[in-house]
Amino acid sequence: MTYTYEYPRPAVTVDLVIFTIADNDLKVLLIRRGGEPFKNRWALPGGFVEIDESLEKAAARELKEEAGVTNVYLEQLFTFGEPKRDPRGRVISVSYFALVDAEQQRIRAASDATEAEWRSVFNPPKLAFDHKKILDYAVWRLRNKIEWTTVGYELLPKKFTLSELQRVYEIILQRPVDKRNFRKKILAQGQIRELNETRSDGAHRPAKLYSFREK
């Protein structure tokens, strides 16, 4: 195959599905569009890939610009490239999903300037472009990942209780999880360390705090 450069080129963007847990719900960060097309509709944050910037870097840059966070879990999802997905012309979107923990997510809420909101994943507003498809795919992926890997920890602050971790699983999977089996499974993974601290949180037995090994 010979590469030539005479082809009309598509624009390439990254779109981000940024998840967090808040108010006992799984949230995604959405931005309200100011211009056409889809004016006033909610959309996933995203933007163009700079010519000398890797896709991963572009995603990390958007993440910082739009959600004000760095150093969070970030993974490429899928590349969407239907010719008509953007009415203005050919735009290929490399989608990423990111997991932001409750602590960092609060930082953003405070410094918010543009119209961006954390919205429930399970009852989202109508989205621009094919962003609903991207969101659905991201949720599907997150559900799979949480069952087979340890990404769940990315949604919690450094110190957490087992009940909090369990809630994360229940919220994402949208089904109750057995407490004893859950603790057994998590502890058997050997990925978390029990700290010599507890958290008192009302009129009941304080919970032991744990931390994830590295992060």
Partner DNA sequence: CCAAAAGTGTTTCACTTACACCCATGA
Partner DNA sequence: TCATGGGTGTAAGTGAAACACTTTTGG
Phi, psi of 132 (to 5 degrees): -65, -40
Residue among 104, 150, 163, 211 that touches DNA (CB under 7 A):
163
Catalytic-role residue among 115, 147, 194, 197: 115
- Of 99, 200, 76, give the one whose Cα is nearest residue 209: 200
Binding flag, residue 3, a second copy (CB under 8 A): yes
Binding flag, residue 214, a second copy (CB under 8 A): no
Residue 190 tokens, joined: 């050997």
Cβ count within 10 A of residue 49: 21
Residue among 24, 88, 123, 181 that touches a second copy (CB under 8 A):
88
Known catalytic residue: 115? yes
Tell me if residue 175 falls in helix, strand or coil: coil
Integer Rg of the chain from CA: 19
Binding flag, residue 34, DNA (CB under 7 A): no
Residue among 40, 70, 71, 89 that touches a second copy (CB under 8 A):
89
Determine what percent of the chain falls in helix, strand and coil, rounding each to the nearest 5: 30, 30, 40
Residue 202 binds which of a second copy, DNA, none (CB < 5-8 A, kind-dependent): DNA
User: What is the binding site for DNA (CB under 7 A)?
Assistant: 161-163, 178-181, 183-185, 198, 200-208
